[in-house]
Amino acid sequence: MKKYLYICAIVLMTALLAIEYGNTFSSVSAFANAGGKKPIYKVDTQEKKVAISFDAAWGADKTEKILDILDSYEVHATFFLVGFWVEKYPEMVKEIDARGYEIGNHSQNHPQMSKLSKEQMKKEITSVNEKISALINKTPTVFRPPFGDYNDCVIETMQELNMHTIQWSIDSLDWKELGKEALVSRVLKKVECGDIILFHNNAKYTPDALPEILEELQARGFSVCSVGELIYKENYFVNNQGIQKENLR
């Protein structure tokens, strides 16, 4: 009986934590590696800064408007680009870079990375890096796996390519098109220092919601930066929750 009550208590506590922290580390893919190595979901920092990021795979109609909004609030951001998007919109790639925003790698064909061999993974990544480098003379140093799908081999392969594997701690779910207010509420509900926020470059309500989100973040004293500006580049470790911490030893 005691064992049964103990199990029930654990289940209840897990459910309560899921409700309480549902917006943090939200919508982490079911594909994500249950154990082993972790990508960077957020950064352990006392500085009041957060990173915003945009995944770009399909469409570009709203990208220039998003860039204009980011410019008007004088914030930085990272755009994770898929290879076939780079091929279709080379001038937009140049525009993103020219305006001072970081460009990351989001694979060539948007596959489930964990289902690929190491050589296939390297081909997916290096082909995009080469395309981006040819356009802007810069090579991405951050990579976001499609669908949030990764395993130890993905992270090890990125390390071999001198790249950081990046997830997110707050998912706007903008692709679900739930409306502006839902998007704003979801992002701002539990935002804290070191969060990485996920948007998409062509989601319907993102341009409408972004000004309100940026205004509120700045009102709360947050500096909005790119992923590359947020993460530690050396002397760090990533714990089993995906939080990147500075190694002080």
Which architecture, in CATH terms, is 26-246? Alpha-Beta Barrel (3.20)
Which of 76, 106, 164, 200 is flagged as catalytic? 200
Specify the residue for token string 């395993």. 151
Q: Is residue 200 annotated as a catalytic residue, yes or no?
A: yes
pLDDT of residue 22: 38
Structure tokens at 44: 């352990």
d(CA 174, CA 184): 10
CA angle centred on 243, ends 229 and 234, rounded to 5°: 50
Shortest CA distance to 226 belongs to which of 86, 84, 93, 80?
A: 80
pLDDT tens sequence across 32-68: 665 689 999 999 999 999 999 999 999 999 999 999 9
d(CA 166, CA 144): 5
- Does residue 11 have a pLDDT over 60? no
pLDDT tens sequence across 113-124: 999 999 999 999
For the entire predicted model, the pTM comes to 0.88
- Does residue 81 have a pLDDT over 70? yes
CA atoms within 13 A on the CB side of 120: 10
pLDDT band at 148 (very low <50, low <70, confident <90, very high): very high
pLDDT of residue 6: 36
Q: Is residue 61 annotated as a catalytic residue, yes or no?
A: no
What's the average model confidence in pLDDT over 196-222? Answer: 98
Which of 44, 55, 149, 171 is flagged as catalytic? 55
pLDDT of residue 33: 65
CA distances from 114 to 111, 155, 248 (A): 9, 10, 32
Q: Are strands 78-81 and 49-56 parallel, antiparallel or unpaired?
A: parallel
Give every CB contact of residue 132 below 8 A, 6+ residues apart in sequence: 81, 86, 93, 103, 105, 138, 139, 140
